[in-house]
Amino acid sequence: MSDDYRCIKIFDTTLRDGEQAPGCSMNSQEKLEVARRLEKLGVDVMEAGFPASSPGDLESVRAIAGVIKDCSVAGLCRSLEKDIDAGREALAKAASPRIHIFLATSPIHMEYKLRMTPDQVLEQAVSAVKYAKKFCSDIEFSAEDAFRSDPDFVCRVFGAAIAAGALTVNAPDTVGYAMPDEFGKFIRYLKEHTPNIEKAALSTHCHNDLGLGVANSIAAVRAGADQIECTINGIGERAGNASLEEIVMALRVRREFFKADTRIDATQIYQASRLVTQVTGVKVQPNKAIVGENAFAHEAGIHQHGVLANRATYEIMTPESVGISKNQMVLGKHSGRHAFEDRLKDLGLAVSAETLEKVFAEFKDLADKKKVVSDRDIEALVMDAAVAVPETWKLDHWAVNTGSALGASGTIRLQHKDGQAKKLVSMGDGPIDSIFKAINQIVGREPELDLYEIGAITGSSSAQGETMVKISMNGRHWNGRGVSTDVVESSIKAYLSAINAMEWELRGKSEQ
């Protein structure tokens, strides 16, 4: 990057703040796959979780920290020694660890949540940073609800945190209250009035409650911010976080305007977005900027005419620039392994040799059922293999009988990992209900079905059905996804995927 342009650091919190959103939970295998994709994307820092929040989160952060080498891995901690100890433990094997400490500074938070005076908050912030600095050189301090805080108090706390050893200070708009102009002025004020700010990076973390998370983030860049905190697809609590893909492409497309850019490999954006969609089951709206289905679609005749003449008439960036492939090579049942591997590379999908064997075999099976296997079909096969947890229960065969006068009965045979097979017939309100009830009886659990959603991966009558399910039990939640040219089978696969995730978390992980 030219010396004339500032390099803005991208701090991705998909695995922490994004995963906290209702319905966005991921199991540890899914988190690992997302972490690898974020590393390939080129984020500077990934916040892997909140280690003190649960033993499971600590283990997930530990696992991610052990495999990620090309970017920093952060763990979020309250300004408490026990939290910092958990963070230290989780990040012990990280190549580049960061302990991220936070403490609220707004009057409403200090009075009603913390029940602390400003001086007590300042003292605790300094104490926490000093304690963390004993174990980790890279410390970030966040002033929660900074925008609704007294700016001079934030400057005072930031200056003290920097003096105690913080290398990054973060000013969040925690509740998405700011307007871009005033948030830019706020960041500029912190930049100009915080003691020793030249010794630390100034970061922002904007929420999207008023739909302005991205606008506020790029206003902060204009005002001198050095780091932006964001998530893939903008997922996060309430209305979500600032969207990574929108921030990155705003800076990339308007590079001359901002005199700034990031080190993100933008061609990996679409695959990162798709992966997060797959593992959380939370889809982006069709008109979502950058990664929505309609982001590069043109239906109006005048638009189509302009794009055919010169794409720049209506496209300020190309689909290829964010990793949406326009390669039209057709793959079918006669395609060989070499063509298949080349297609995976074109799509930015890296798989192990073992996974490649499994996916190629499934591709051949699918190609026997469909004349043409689309990129979306291939992507779905790879995603299924990449994020799959160990199978406690495996589908052997199934059958359903249904009709307007008959009701519905479902027959299913499942194979347990110990080799035992179980078969059951159950009645239900429809074929899906009957099969799900049969699965529950075989497994011996009765989870709640919180979400059941089915759609087509591509068009045509031979399209694969893609089913998403979410189940819950005793306050815990699991996602499942299934793909098949038969919608009943895709539903069974999705439900079994969620059941296996549940079994793995409740029993399997301890056994392994």
CATH number for position 44: 3.20.20.70
pLDDT tens track for 198-244: 999 999 999 999 999 999 999 999 999 999 999 999 999 999 999 99
Confidence bin at 453 (pLDDT 50/70/90)? confident
Residue 463's domain is classified under what CATH number?
Answer: 3.30.160.270
SS3 call for 229: strand
pLDDT at 363: 83
Same domain, 145 and 215: yes
What pTM did the predictor assign? 0.81
Choosing from 386, 407, 429, the residue where a domain stops is 386
Q: Which of 24-28, 105-109, 143-147, 236-240 has the lowest mean pLDDT?
A: 24-28
Confidence bin at 9 (pLDDT 50/70/90)? very high
Question: Could you give the CA distance from residue 258 to residue 250 in angstroms, rounded to a whole number?
Answer: 9
Same domain, 420 and 329: no
Q: Please enumerate in sequence order all residues whose Cβ is within 8 A of that of 385, keeping only pairs 6 or more positions apart, or say none.
A: 351, 355, 358, 359, 362
pLDDT at 266: 97
Number of separate domains in the chain: 4
Same domain, 221 and 359: no
pLDDT tens track for 401-419: 888 766 788 899 999 988 8
Residue pair 65/35 in contact by the 8 Å Cβ criterion: no
pLDDT at 67: 97
Confidence bin at 291 (pLDDT 50/70/90)? very high
Question: Could you give the CA distance from residue 229 to residue 280 in angstroms, rounded to a whole number?
Answer: 20
Does any domain span residue 48?
yes
Residue pair 134/68 in contact by the 8 Å Cβ criterion: no
| Average pLDDT over the chain, rounded to an integer | 89
**pLDDT reading at 278 higher than 80:** yes
Confidence bin at 510 (pLDDT 50/70/90)? very low
Q: Which of 214-218, 359-363, 384-388, 502-506 has the lowest mean pLDDT?
A: 384-388
Q: Bin 9: left if φ > 0, else alpha if -120 < ψ < 50, else beta.
A: beta
Same domain, 45 and 191: yes
Residue pair 156/131 in contact by the 8 Å Cβ criterion: no
Residue pair 439/414 in contact by the 8 Å Cβ criterion: yes
pLDDT at 328: 45
Q: Which of 107-111, 224-228, 293-297, 330-334 has the lowest mean pLDDT?
A: 330-334
Q: Please enumerate in sequence order all residues whose Cβ is within 8 A of that of 417, keeping only pairs 6 or more positions apart, or say none.
A: 390, 391, 392, 393, 394
Picking from 229, 211, 223, 221, the residue whose alpha carbon sits closest to that of residue 172 is 229
Which range of 221-225, 293-297, 303-307, 374-378 scores highest in mean pLDDT? It is: 221-225
Question: Could you give the CA distance from residue 212 to residue 301 in angstroms, rounded to a whole number?
Answer: 32
Same domain, 269 and 362: no
Q: Mean pLDDT throughout 295-313?
A: 62
Confidence bin at 465 (pLDDT 50/70/90)? confident
Does any domain span residue 263?
yes
**pLDDT reading at 157 higher than 60:** yes
Same domain, 127 and 169: yes
Domain span holding position 449: 393-511
Choosing from 359, 386, 413, the residue where a domain stops is 386
pLDDT at 132: 98
Does any domain span residue 286?
no
Choosing from 251, 280, 309, the residue where a domain stops is 280
Does any domain span residue 93?
yes
pLDDT at 281: 81
**pLDDT reading at 296 higher than 70:** yes
Confidence bin at 327 (pLDDT 50/70/90)? very low
Same domain, 316 and 445: no
Same domain, 310 and 267: no
